[in-house]
Amino acid sequence: MKKTGVWLAVFFTVFLMGPTGCAHAPTDPDPLWAAQEYLGQQMEREDGAVLAYEFESAQVLEEETERIRQRYKDSDIAGERGWSQGFIDHMTAVETRYTVDYDNTKVPYSEGKMIHVLYLSREDENSPWEVFDSLTPYE
């Protein structure tokens, strides 16, 4: 089980965030739409490894959103990453649910019904959403 967790962490760090560490989602006032579009774009990048993908739902996690905003407010980590107070004030945790089927001869990813939390933010209402972190919770 621990080996699977490590693979999932590595997969989602590389798969969802890419080599730059921060991935841009489309400019839109709605973080739910931005999260859905972002996941869809990531699935398209898999070069034939995704056999089927169906987005099911997205919801803002209010308690988690408040927790991450408080965690990074006036923190050394935020300063080291160059995050402005505007970026911190716009941090939003979005839980996404989707079903995916991979060609397991091409990739060793977990498949089926997935729950994934994307952490998005932006500088202000006119800037694009960025996925700055993500996790796959275990139920």
Give pLDDT tens digits for 16-40: 444 334 555 545 578 999 999 999 9
**Could you tell me which residue, 46 or 82, shows the higher pLDDT?**
82
Which tokens in the block code for residue 92? 């939003």
Sheet holding 23-24, edge to edge: 23-24, 130-135, 112-121, 92-102, 50-60
Q: In the predicted model, is pLDDT for residue 116 greater than 80?
A: yes
Percent of the chain with pLDDT over 90: 69
Rounded to 5°, the CA angle 115-132-118 comes to 15
Q: In the predicted model, is pLDDT for residue 11 greater than 50?
A: no
Q: In the predicted model, is pLDDT for residue 5 greater than 80?
A: no
